Amino acid sequence: MLITIITFIIVFGILVLVHEFGHYYFAKRAGILVREFSIGMGPKIWWNHRNGTTYTIRLLPLGGYVRLAGGDEDDDETLRPGTPVTLQMNNQNEVVTINASNKTTLFQGLPLQIVDKDLVDELWISGYVNGDESKVETFNVNHDANVIERDGTEVRIAPRDVQIKSASLPHRMMTNFAGPMNNFILALVVFVILGFTLPGIPTNSNEIGRVQTSSVAAKAGLQSGDRITRVNGHQTKNWQEMTSAISSQPDKQITVQYQRDGKKKMVKMVPRKVKRGKQTVGQIGIMEEQRTDVKSRLSYGWHQFVLSGTLIFSVLGHMFTHGFSLNDLGGPVAIYAGTSQATSLGVNGVLAFLAMLSINLGIVNLLPIPALDGGKLVLNIIEGIIRRPIPEKAEGIVTLVGFAFLLLLMILVTWNDIQRYFIR
């Protein structure tokens, strides 16, 4: 139980960290201010402010985000009119820190009750100083000033020139795409690592790698290097087809045609009856050919990456063509259940699970749903087609609808997962 919980937190943390780092890195490259880089959701349990970005770890390991200046997550309601704050000034009499928290005290801070502010374009803040409501005083705010929020977390203000909408369209598109892209890269790297942890890479050819001593195949004269081409007259193009044909004939005589040194040979044998779970299968005692060279291991990683991506697309296609079901989706509860199964298979099981989840996260995030990265990219493409910015009101409504849809879907999926794994 404890190992599963720790593994779940590590796997989920890696997925979120890699995904959000993609957004973070390309936003920084584009000159977009990343106000906060958060791992986890809910209350903050640790934070550190460095180079204009506040790095936070939150209590619930169920996601994360980057708070881009002017982005969807950048909803700053800390400095409303009437809010009491203290100001810290620099030598040029500019405000460099605005403290709205009772948990932090500024040295020689100037008490102010906010009347109005502009921290985007003209960079000023005005209000009543020391409780004197007879006049409103206005102070210039430094471009790189910080705000200490109510919970004590320090973040940079967001002037317009460092907001995401001030970046070029290609830079914004790359920033939105970078999260899923990083998930694909992570999956490929993990699958390649898996390729190097395996003792050998199956070739899936119909060539025998090894014949077990005293087995049915050994007694029939089969040798390593023989290529089984037909079973009971049916062609076998690869190892999977060949083993399926043999396993379906337990304790029954079969005719095996094979090639050795370019010559065709034929032999009859009776596969041994073996119990595999609840099934009875036939075995003749042969093992698949395996390779250990670097190229084969790299190819294995790429093949598993493509195979996993294709499988996920097939599932999505099935949902659209055969009807939607909540059982086709899985939230944190399903991931936890999957983590439990993967943990029982050891390190390789966890790595394979991590790679599959990473591909899944990347593909799902690219779906054209508002509030997901794919939805943002669709808006970017529309902007490129019409050659003008989409009205903020329209974009805000679309994003809000997307968030509401995702929130409702997450609630339904989570409840369905709880029923599937813990109640039924």
For residue 8, the tally of other CB atoms under 10 A from its CB is 20
Sign of CA dihedral 227, 230, 232, 238: positive
| Nearest C-alpha neighbor of 7 from the set 346, 270, 334, 292 | 346
| Nearest C-alpha neighbor of 255 from the set 289, 274, 265 | 265
DSSP string, 98-159: EE--SS---TT-EEEEEEEEESSSS-EEEEEETT-TT--EEEEEEEEEEEE-TTS-EEE---
Contact 70, 121 (CB under 8 A): no
Contact 319, 328 (CB under 8 A): yes
| Nearest C-alpha neighbor of 170 from the set 262, 32, 291 | 32
| Cα–Cα distance measured from residue 197 to residue 187, given in angstroms and rounded to the nearest whole number | 15
Burial of residue 352, with CB atoms counted within 10 A of its CB: 0-12 exposed, 13-18 middle, 19 or more buried? middle
- For 99, list phi and psi in degrees, rounded to 5: -100, 115
| Cα–Cα distance measured from residue 264 to residue 241, given in angstroms and rounded to the nearest whole number | 19
**Catalytic pick among 20, 149, 207, 395:** 20
State the number of CA atoms in the 13 A half-sphere of 65 facing the CB: 14
- For 259, list phi and psi in degrees, rounded to 5: -115, 135
Return all residues near 74 (Cβ < 8 A) that are at least 6 apart.
35, 67, 68, 158
- For 73, list phi and psi in degrees, rounded to 5: -85, -5
Separation of CA 295 from chain center? 27
Q: By three-state DSSP, how is residue 68 classified? A: strand
Per DSSP, helices labelled H in 251-346 are: 294-322, 332-344
Q: What's the residue count for the chain?
A: 424
395 is catalytic: no
| Cα–Cα distance measured from residue 267 to residue 232, given in angstroms and rounded to the nearest whole number | 10
Residues belonging to the active site = 20
